[in-house]
Amino acid sequence: MVSMKDIAVICGVSVATVSKALNNHGDIGEQTKRKIKSTAKELGYHPNSSARALKTKRSYNMGVLYHEGSGSGLTHDYFSQVLENFKNTAEQCGYDITFLSNSKIRKDRMSYLDHSIYRGMDGVMIAIADYKDAEVIELLRSELPVVTIDYVFNGRISIMSNNISGMRELLSYVYEQGHREIAYIHGEESTVTTNRVSMYYQFLEEKAMTVREEFLQEGKYRDSHIAGLITNRLLDLECRPSCILYSDDFSAIGGMNVLKNRGLRIPEDISIAGYDGIMIASQLEPQLTTYRQDTVGIGSMAAKKLISLIESPKATPIVQYVMNGRLIKGGSVARI
């Protein structure tokens, strides 16, 4: 097996210089670095992860807890993009990622924390989970470095999409288009839902608009069927809304199908808007008005902060990082 010592002898440098070059340290000249990397490649050198783990006391493996309840799994448009960017950033920094098993079918399965320890994970990113689950709480309260997405837990770094600002921007646009009868089909209970619903009430109060409780309906995130049922309920009201906001773009598609089945034109007869800014939203007819969340920034920031917690725990502040998105003005909201 080729070692760094073999590379050092051929290149006429020290083992320390080889190590720095292979790890892209900045205090090595580019010409020397290229020579060392080229030699390593020609010799078929591969770093020994076990040796590196013994030296650094780290496995360079991070866990991802992803327990998605809607049944869409890793095809979930929003979280799949967050995970992809988390993975890319982690790999650029020399880390691998492993998913924590959420199957509770096997009797011998380990808890999330036990699984993390068994696999020697340096830290865990919780992308989506049931935060009332005892196993999730156990993981959050452990000494393992943990970063959460769109959820605030005392003593943990959280990466949040700016749902308050996003909801305000979306409502402001709909209001500027002349709409005053605005319904909102929100998702189930969560920090995200609480922030968006609070902004809905706050915005209506600021504009001295009547808050009609029947216009605020609870659905489920990324459930087009339930969104469709609630859309029908709103359409059957004696005074129906002129615009319906949905918790996410996928739910908005469910509402859109119901509206078209009832012979209503979008946006001529009724306006709609989604949230998330997934790719399919731009391909609909009409193009869906939505708020695009910064999945690149959220995923990348989560990886960077988790790595910082792992490598420099005492120098990493425990704070919330809020990422702004941007409004996409499609063609699904009419000016009235």
The rounded average pLDDT for each run of 10 residues, N- to C-terminus, in the chain (336 residues) is: 86 88 81 92 76 65 82 70 94 90 62 91 93 94 96 94 97 98 95 95 96 96 95 96 97 96 97 94 93 96 96 95 96 96
- pLDDT computed for residue 28 by the predictor: 83
Domain 4-47 and domain 61-161+296-325, same fold? Reply is no
Cα distances (angstroms) measured from residue 101 to each of 108, 119, 179, 232, 314: 12, 12, 46, 38, 30
Write down the pLDDT at residue 52. 56
**Would you list the DSSP string of 286-334?**
SPPPEEE--HHHHHHHHHHHHHHHHH-GGG----EEEE--EEE--SSS-
Fold category of 163-293 in CATH: Rossmann fold (3.40.50)
List, for residues 86-116, the tens digit of each pLDDT value. Answer: 999 999 988 999 998 655 555 567 899 999 9
Q: What is the pLDDT of residue 110?
A: 85
Per-residue model confidence (pLDDT) at position 262: 96
CATH superfamily of 61-161+296-325: Response regulator (3.40.50.2300)
- Phi/psi region, residue 74 (left: phi>0; alpha: psi -120 to 50; beta: rest), is alpha
Residue 89 is predicted with a pLDDT of: 95
Tell me the per-residue pLDDT of 260-315, one tens digit each, with 9 for 90 and over. Answer: 999 999 999 999 999 999 888 888 999 999 999 999 999 999 999 999 999 999 99
Helix (H, G, I), strand (E, B) or coil at 198: helix
Alpha-carbon distance of 210 to 305, in angstroms, equals 43
| Domain residue limits, the chain | 4-47, 61-161+296-325, 163-293
Which of 286, 285, 289, 261 is closest to 275 using CA atoms? 289
pLDDT at 128: 87
Structural class in CATH, domain 4-47: mainly alpha
